[in-house]
Amino acid sequence: MTEAVFVQLLDLICGGVLLTAVLSLWRRELAAIVRLLVAQGILLALLAALLGAREHSTELYVAAAGVLVLKAIVLPAVLRRVLRDSGEAREAEPLVNVTTSLLAAALLTLLAYGISRPLVLLAPSATTRALPVGLAVVLLGFFVLVTRRRALSQVIGFLLLDNGITTTAFLATAGVPLVVELGVSLDVLLVVLVLQVLAARMRLTFGRTDLDELRELRD
Amino acid sequence: MPFEELVRVAAGSDPVAAAVLLVPLLAPMLVAVAAVVVGWRPAVAWSTVAASVAILGSGVVAAVATSDGSELTVGGMLRVDALSAVMLLVIGVVAVVATWSGVGYIDHEIAAEHTDARGAQRYGLLVPLFLTAMVLAVEASNLGVLWAAVEATTIVTAFLVGHRGGRAAVEATWKYVIICSVGIALAYLGTVLVYYASQHTGTGEAGSLDWTVLVAQADQLDPGVMRIAVPLLVLGFGTKVGLVPMHSWLPDAHSQAPAPVSALMSGVLLSVAVYALLRYRVIAVAALDGEFVRNLLLVVGLASVALAASLLLAQRDYKRLLAYSSIEHMGLVIIGVAIGTPLAVAALLLHILGHGLAKAVLFCASGQILASEGTTRIADVRGLLARRPVLAGSFALGLAALLGLPPFSLFVSELALARAAADAGVFWAVAVALVLLLVVFVAIAGHAAGMLFGAAPSGLATAAPTSTRAAAAPLVTGLIALAILGVVAWPLDVLLHAASIIAGTS
């Protein structure tokens, strides 16, 4: 693979990762957002595979396969189950409307480019120049987390955040050591499973998963 | 790590090190397996206590072996130095009090129909796993593994926080899991950035997340990258410590969890996250200028104490009162981390130990108060000292310890922290903290006076307190240990000194 092809593929994938994150702010149907997460998971696996092809690294191919299974198959399957059980197809009125969300997305992306300058400067290359994309997805995930009101939307925000960190890790360091990677993946999977059970309990106790119901404990 | 690998590694290393490092990891795991197989029984309950004693015992052996500055390692993945040994002691001591008092607690919960056999079994499984995760966090030589272990504590405690069920439990658990997972995810981003910086040091070695390697090359880590990584790490692990601005999960989770779990969360879980920050601070001050790191930590530490002080004043629930007191004490400890001199580190480690013990006693006592009074509202508990003298006495002495009164060890550690601050030229921070502590003192003493004295509410159904002596034993033991620590420094001062050299920088 020539350098030019590598850079083009890399930019394409990273652009796709950012796009899927922004689109999930735009869509309101939760099923559509889960599909966007699947697409983002596939892109992340492709990113790992692309880096693996360049560095002839078996470890990265293994990581790519792991990312594909976890982020494009297992986690979305869990989310779909929550969605099916809850019967709530749409995000309720989010705290911030779509236009403002998209505007915020643009600002957050700019912010990500601003703060990640030192990261790029440390070792300028095609991969590190794409680093701001990872941070932008982290910020977008954070934004979803604080502005959405359905339980499932918060889980999606957490997963976006995690995808952003995974992107950053692959671009910055071609992945963390495999043992850490394994621990992280397991942790994320377990968190989502825990949240799935909690969402079911929430439905049992409150009748729905609107987080506005969570206002009993305060000072 | 696969089991054969573990055995191979264990066989290949120093047998003492293997025993000291593996026993506290494996003993609770065995108990967890037993709980799954046979369910919640007295034997399982007492095995959990035995596992806690094993952790404490390993801590003692580790303390003896490492107080000369040496370390024990197993297979390059696990390492215990004096700092880890202190943390093992803290985990062991708090776990003994908490699990001991958990024996009677769960029986009572079943009798009162707050939980059933399945709930009790889940408790029997998750509590030892919680202990394992915390032990792994302080034994991991790799900061990535440390991260994964801290995150694992969130997962295993999730269903413990919501153990009682009901609306409030679901709410507390949801907030706990979401806020801590997000916070700790930010810490992971920080970890990734540290790894990135370590790949590009002048030494030309491949990057590493091993703490000793990182410390050795810390002054070559890129300051630009570290300036982004360090705030993320402080924010992330700070979430788990319960620091402002990510503290909001703590009062809910601590007040909802079963009393022995609250004791473990407040006494140990928070300090394990402080331990992570202590390790990272050594790297951060070498890579960046010390002022940046110190000011960052001072701001979050003082803000946490201030927030806790203001919310303690109007508190109406005694379990939440204890939770805010944890935020206050962790704020103090973080001020100690900010100062960062060897004296400050020794003082904050002693403070962590004292706070852990005091909180274990207090949360376990509050569980018994809840069981006997049926409410967590401060206003509804009156005249406790006359009706339940041993329980109320333990609660009162625990509070006295928490407020920094002699002879308990928090008096010694707070004085030492103040001295360290004065030596380091940040006396203003301590002056502010002292004013806030005065507010805390007035608030807690005022609330407690009403609970302990005052006229007993008329027409109170005085349920006959069952097995008072058995329930009081862990509390009294904890208080005695706390007083001994405050009076004689002898068993610990060498170890604390060794630990303060590892984590302290002048």
**pLDDT (tens digit per residue) in A1-33:** 788 999 999 999 999 999 999 999 988 888 999
A184 close contact with B: CB closer than 8 A: yes
State residue B13's pLDDT score.
66
What's B142's DSSP letter? B
CB contact under 8 A, B191 and A176: yes
Optimal mutation site among A176, A182, A209, A210, interface B, most CBs of chain B within 10 A: A176
Size of interface A-B (CB pairs under 8 A): 138
Optimal mutation site among A180, A193, A206, interface B, most CBs of chain B within 10 A: A180
Residue of A nearest to B180 (CA): A191
Optimal mutation site among B77, B177, B248, interface A, most CBs of chain A within 10 A: B177
Residue B473: which of B165, B49, B174 has the closest Cα? B49
CB contact under 8 A, A219 and B168: no
Residue A83: which of A156, A136, A182 has the closest Cα? A156
* Alpha-carbon gap: B266 to the closest alpha carbon of chain A (Å): 18
Give A125's contacts in chain B (Cβ within 8 Å).
none
Question: What is the dihedral angle through the alpha carbons of B33, B36, B42, B46, rounded to the nearest 10 degrees?
Answer: 20
**Cβ(B111)–Cβ(B102) below 8 Å:** no
State residue A217's pLDDT score.
74
Tell me how many degrees the CA angle B267-B450-B485 measures, rounded to the nearest 5. 35
- Mean pLDDT of all residues in A118-130: 92
SS3 (DSSP) at B20: helix
CA A76 to chain centre: 11
Optimal mutation site among B142, B188, B214, interface A, most CBs of chain A within 10 A: B188
State residue B235's pLDDT score.
96
State residue B154's pLDDT score.
93
Residue B58: which of B133, B140, B135, B146 has the closest Cα? B135
Residue of B nearest to A185 (CA): B148
Q: Give me A174's structure tokens.
A: 């071609």
pLDDT category at A207 given cuts 50, 70, 90 is confident
State residue B47's pLDDT score.
94
* Alpha-carbon gap: A88 to the closest alpha carbon of chain B (Å): 19
**Phi and psi dihedrals of B200, rounded to 5?**
-120, 40
Q: Could you tell me the maximum CA-CA distance found in chain B, to the nearest angstrom? A: 77
State residue B1's pLDDT score.
47
Give A161's contacts in chain B (Cβ within 8 Å).
182, 185
Cα→Cα distances B377→A205, B315, B316, B320, B416, Å: 23, 9, 6, 10, 35
Ranges of residues in chain B whose predicted pLDDT is under 70: 1-13, 203-206, 456-467, 490
Task: Give B484: exposed, middle or buried? Use CB within 10 Å, 0-12, 13-18, 19+.
Answer: middle
| Gap between the Cα atoms of A187 and A172, Å rounded | 21
CB contact under 8 A, A190 and B174: no
SS3 of B238-268: the string is HHHHCCCCCCCHHHHHHHHCCHHHHHHHHHH
How many C-beta atoms surround the C-beta of residue B57 within 10 A?
A: 16
- Mean pLDDT of all residues in A69-74: 95
CB contact under 8 A, B192 and A158: no
A205 close contact with B: CB closer than 8 A: yes
| Gap between the Cα atoms of A172 and A160, Å rounded | 18
Would you say residue A212 has pLDDT above 80? no
Residue of A nearest to B223 (CA): A118
CB contact under 8 A, B177 and A195: yes
State residue B5's pLDDT score.
60
**Cβ(A167)–Cβ(A18) below 8 Å:** no
Tell me how many degrees the CA angle B183-B210-B177 measures, rounded to the nearest 5. 20
| Gap between the Cα atoms of B237 and B248, Å rounded | 14
State residue A43's pLDDT score.
97
SS3 (DSSP) at B210: strand
* Alpha-carbon gap: A38 to the closest alpha carbon of chain B (Å): 20
Task: Give B287: exposed, middle or buried? Use CB within 10 Å, 0-12, 13-18, 19+.
Answer: buried
Would you say residue A95 has pLDDT above 90? no
CB contact under 8 A, B192 and A176: yes
Residue B126: which of B90, B102, B144 has the closest Cα? B102
State residue A96's pLDDT score.
82
| DSSP string over chain A | --HHHHHHHHHHHHHHHHHHHHHHHH--BHHHHHHHHHHHHHHHHHHHHHHHHHHT-HHHHHHHHHHIIIIIIIHHHHHHHHHHHH---B--S-SS-HHHHHHHHHHHHHHHHHHTHHHHHHS-SHHHHTHHHHHHHHHHHHHHHHH--BHHHHHHHHHHHHHHHHHHHHHHHSS--HHHHHHHHHHHHHHHHHHHHHHHHHHHHHSS-BGGG--SS--
Give B166's contacts in chain A (Cβ within 8 Å).
205
Task: Give A153: exposed, middle or buried? Use CB within 10 Å, 0-12, 13-18, 19+.
Answer: buried
Those residues whose C-beta lies under 8 Å from the C-beta of residue B272, and which sit 6 or more positions away, are B87, B91, B134, B137, B138, B150, B153, B240
State residue B4's pLDDT score.
61
State residue B462's pLDDT score.
53
**Cβ(B222)–Cβ(B286) below 8 Å:** no
Residue of B nearest to A172 (CA): B196
Give B222's contacts in chain A (Cβ within 8 Å).
118, 122
| Gap between the Cα atoms of B226 and B159, Å rounded | 36
Name the residue among A183, A191, A202 with its Cβ closest to that of B181.
A191
What's B269's DSSP letter? I
Q: Give me A149's structure tokens.
A: 């009101």
State residue B3's pLDDT score.
55
* Alpha-carbon gap: B167 to the closest alpha carbon of chain A (Å): 6
State residue B465's pLDDT score.
53
**Which secondary structure element, helix H or strand E, spans residue B79, and what is its range?**
strand B78-80
Q: Does the bond joining B465 to the residue before it have cis omega, within 30 degrees of 0?
A: no
Only one residue has tokens 């749409």, namely: A90
